[in-house]
Amino acid sequence: MALTCRDTLRLIFQRLTVADLARASCVCRVWNSVATENDLVASAFTAPWRIKDLVGKPASGAFWRDNGIWKFAISHRISRGDSVTSLAVKYSVQVMDIKRLNNMMSDHGIYSRDRLLIPISNSEILVDTTCYIEVDKYAKREVAVLYLEGGPKREQSASGMNHLSTVSAHGKRKLIESLRRSMQVDDETALYYLAIAEGNPRSALSEFSADLTWERQAGLN
């Protein structure tokens, strides 16, 4: 069976890089229709890193324009005792790189999130893996995310939020403001500790104090 013009172009374009595909798409309408095919672009995007599969479709075609290592990140689910510094040590990256990637102004911002995106320091970790194209609501950017423990999970709010649902909006606001002043943190961090303390402000302060003590003992603060 004879190959069509599009088939021939597809065979040729399969050998191109992301940048070359972008250039090819500017030649004419036919070239553009082939060079912008999602499967073709995704293959070129992942080829340098030998990724097995890339799941999802980007919200914007601009996502494909650059496939540098900075377009990939590890998803780390936050657990008690985590800090930006300890995660930087664990993943062999810079503290400022984690903050920059996650759009963080304060170290305590970690406690208001379910996860942090960790920059990739060694591209070998991407080999034969599956990454997921996601828009991170905190980082406010679209990245290809690698999950070291399974795949993406549906976000769940802290169980303690149920205990706050019976408090009026005005009462909750006063609690958060009081904790924020006492802890000298932002609203989201104060809300996090109030949630894990099941709405008890004294317990929230105790939890916060325990975390600070742990950080000092570990030499992270």
| Predicted model pTM | 0.65
43 confidence band (pLDDT: 50, 70, 90): very high
Domain stops at, among 124, 147, 170: 147
- The answer to whether position 131 is within a domain reads yes
**What's the confidence (pLDDT) of residue 164?**
56
Domain that holds residue 142: 69-147
Same domain, 143 and 185: no
The verdict on 142 and 165 lying in the same domain is no
Question: Does the pLDDT at position 219 exceed 70?
Answer: no
pLDDT at 110 over 90: no
Closest to 42 (Cα-Cα) out of 13, 1, 79: 13
Tell whether 8 is covered by a domain: no
Find the CATH number of the domain harbouring 92: 3.10.350.10
Which of the residue ranges 93-102, 111-120, 185-194 would you say has the lowest mean pLDDT?
185-194
Query: For residue 82, what are the contacts with CB-CB under 8 A and spacing of at least 6?
Result: 76, 110
Q: Residue 42: pLDDT band by 50, 70, 90 thresholds?
A: very high
Q: 124-154 pLDDT, tens per residue? A: 999 999 999 998 888 878 899 999 987 786 4
Q: What is the DSSP string of the chain?
A: -PPPHHHHHHHHHTT--HHHHHHHTTT-HHHHHHHT-HHHHHHHHHGGGT-SEEES--SSGGGGG---GGGEEEEEE--TT--HHHHHHHHT--HHHHHHHHT-SSGGGGGG-SEEEEE-S-GGGGTT-EEEEEEETTTTEEEEEEESSSS-------TTHHHHTTS-HHHHHHHHHHHHHHHT--HHHHHHHHHHTTT-HHHHHHHHHHHHHHHHHTT--
| Number of domains comprising the chain | 2
Q: Residues 86, 143: one domain?
A: yes
Q: What is the pLDDT of residues 57-96, one digit of tens each?
A: 887 777 888 899 999 999 999 888 889 999 999 999 999 9
Asked if residue 94 belongs to a domain, the reply is yes
Mean of per-residue pLDDT scores for the chain: 83
Q: Residue 113 is which amino acid?
A: R
* Domain membership flag for residue 62: no
